[in-house]
Amino acid sequence: MSIHSHSHSSSLPLGRGRPVKTAKDYRAMAEECVKWAREARDDDVRAPLLQLAQTWLDAASKLDGLPANP
């Protein structure tokens, strides 16, 4: 099944079949990105995954009312 075969509502991003709503959910997505980055064999794949992980962590911090990390 392709990623494009599902229609998504405006509640994206999605996490494990449900809308991501909590800082805990965002941190879980960041952990997944870091895991994938560790498994990546190529820096061209690893770097964007780590950047995405940071984006998820920044979003979690925002939900917690904290400043995002630089």
Residue 31 Cα distances to 4, 16, 34, angstroms: 24, 13, 5
Q: How far apart are CA 41 and CA 70, in angstroms?
A: 26
Residue ranges in the chain modelled with pLDDT below 70: 1-20, 68-70
Q: How far apart are CA 34 and CA 51, in angstroms?
A: 9
- Residue 9 inside a domain? The answer is no
Residue 62 Cα distances to 26, 38, 67, angstroms: 10, 26, 6
Question: How confident is the model at residue 21, as a pLDDT?
Answer: 83
- Residue 50 inside a domain? The answer is yes
Residue ranges making up the domain that contains 59: 17-70
- Residue 3 inside a domain? The answer is no
- Residue 34 inside a domain? The answer is yes
Q: How far apart are CA 50 and CA 31, in angstroms?
A: 10
- Residue 28 inside a domain? The answer is yes
Question: How confident is the model at residue 15, as a pLDDT?
Answer: 55
